[in-house]
A and B are shown apart, each in its own frame.
Chain A
């Protein structure tokens, strides 16, 4: 197995009865890469992502995530990935520190390690003044940044981000992406879905799903050339509208 490829997917398919939600998708993601996973509502993004993070069994095909088989080794996958979604992020009724401690705890970090992590994390995000405040009282943008950092607490090989920046103001959105760049630069692979097409351009490579299939996969630059489009939004529209 190639060590540089942290996600390897081959002919992965998921069917619900007669309905083919994910239809024979094949792709690789390299170590330290920011991989954008785009698609219209109902194109099968979420289903595909669920298979990769080991919470849904594929109907057939092959997939290795962080070196583990999604069919047989889902538990090991979960230990080696981080996950953050817009819907579930942090506990609003716990403080910043308590959230960090809790998530460090469920990934089996030692108490000393959690403490170190919590301190660096709070310091890096500039949350020193609010470390003992309830997360629910923080602005949305701060929560999302904190939530991303918490998803990295156990130094996962890959972190999956499901529409992480929905509704966040443009400045915070950019700060969020700076965090993503930083993590990628340190060798963490980023797998991200988004509805903001300008964010798609921040990715190293982008795949676009239409009706369960990956219809395009390349760097944003090459995709734009291929589809003779000015930006990713036009690429997306051309593809999805056929």
Chain B
């Protein structure tokens, strides 16, 4: 077992950042923590990288206990905190060789591991990190986290604020690193990235909503889900929200994802209802749920407590 977390809880003053979190990550697995800001992702990362003590529970990383063997863990993990922690006033090359030095290694020694990524930023090796674009900073930060050939790699929101192209390239890199035997724990607020992980944990308000493979999570979605489209998005959303049988109404791209709370739901009745609201071009077709649908379905109960309101 590469990472094992059991019953971890952590509070800051009266905010419960993590509540009774347990999960395990296998060796060589690409495991995703999926959740919005404030879900507790960073706190969990800090506990696992020995930067924070948990209030309760225990955890091991690479079979070392995060409290007792913290020194060993610090030698064996790579950590990339949120917001790409680099020295802005050092050049690309200086950053990399600095991190190599403090881990007691050199760029040459582990060059084959980072080669593929580093080649993309090498043309800018004399540029200061502060002047790089988001995508390049991200790649440099990844190189820095890998330079000592860690067994476990912790990546806290590595794709936040980065454009879709760089995000895609980044995930391709992670897949290749995984093939080299590195266990990767990665967090992201982008639900569409969840499908790229082997297994994921959905996290909201410090609680795990579900842990499974992305496919299994999608399969677990409890209701038939429909794409609803019409000529006017705004009126469509309002009409659906006013519809007495609705279970959930969420805009998704050009459609609205709709679920009904009747077991014998007939799309025809909905179509009639919408047309009675002066909507035209009404389309209703069955679709498959996404991770995001599941997330919202699971997050809904806790959500309605904090925000009962909806736009009228």
* A and B touching (Cβ–Cβ under 8 A): yes
The interface residues of chain B lying within 8 Å CB-to-CB of A155 are none
Interface contact A231-B307, CB-CB below 8 Å:
no
Interface contact A170-B237, CB-CB below 8 Å:
no
Interface contact B295-A198, CB-CB below 8 Å:
no
B231 to chain A, nearest CB (A): 12
Within 8 A of B (CB), among A128-174: 139-142, 163, 166-172, 174
Contact partner, A170, options B38, B161, B235, B295, Cβ 8 Å: B295
Instruction: Judge whether A71 is part of the interface by a CB distance below 8 angstroms.
Output: no
Instruction: Judge whether A15 is part of the interface by a CB distance below 8 angstroms.
Output: no
From B300, which residue of chain A is reached at the shortest CB distance? A171
Contact partner, A40, options B38, B163, B235, Cβ 8 Å: B163
The interface residues of chain B lying within 8 Å CB-to-CB of A177 are 251
Instruction: Judge whether B164 is part of the interface by a CB distance below 8 angstroms.
Output: yes
Contact partner, B234, options A41, A42, A43, A184, Cβ 8 Å: A184
Interface contact B309-A171, CB-CB below 8 Å:
no
Whole-angstrom distance between the alpha carbons of A201 and B256 in the complex? 11
Within 8 A of A (CB), among B37-55: 37-39
Instruction: Judge whether B117 is part of the interface by a CB distance below 8 angstroms.
Output: no
Q: Which of B19-27, B177-185, B188-196, B217-225 contacts A (4 or more CB under 8 A)?
A: B188-196
Within 8 A of B (CB), among A168-201: 168-172, 174-175, 177-179, 181-182, 184-185, 195-198, 201
Interface size class of A (residues with CB under 8 A): 35 or more
Instruction: Judge whether A232 is part of the interface by a CB distance below 8 angstroms.
Output: yes
Interface contact A197-B164, CB-CB below 8 Å:
yes
Interface contact B251-A170, CB-CB below 8 Å:
no
Interface contact B254-A221, CB-CB below 8 Å:
yes
A167, A236, A237: residue with the most chain B Cβ atoms closer than 10 Å: A167
Contact partner, A166, options B160, B252, B254, B311, Cβ 8 Å: B160
Per-residue interface assignment for chain B, residues 125 to 164, with 1 indicating a CB less than 8 Å from any chain A CB and 0 otherwise:
0000000011100000000000000000000000011111
Interface contact A169-B311, CB-CB below 8 Å:
no
Within 8 A of B (CB), among A185-225: 185, 195-198, 201-202, 220-221
Known: A41-B134, A184-B234. A170 touches B164 (CB 8 A): no
Known: A184-B234, A185-B234. A139 touches B38 (CB 8 A): yes
Known: A168-B36, A220-B254. A40 touches B165 (CB 8 A): yes
Instruction: Judge whether B250 is part of the interface by a CB distance below 8 angstroms.
Output: yes
The interface residues of chain A lying within 8 Å CB-to-CB of B307 are 126, 141-142, 172, 175
16 contacts between A and B (CB under 8 A): A40-B135, A40-B163, A40-B165, A126-B307, A139-B38, A140-B38, A141-B307, A167-B189, A168-B37, A169-B37, A169-B189, A169-B299, A171-B296, A181-B237, A184-B234, A201-B253
Residues of B near any A CB (own CB < 8 A):
35-39, 133-135, 160-166, 168, 189-192, 204, 233-235, 237, 250-254, 292, 295-296, 299-300, 303, 306-312
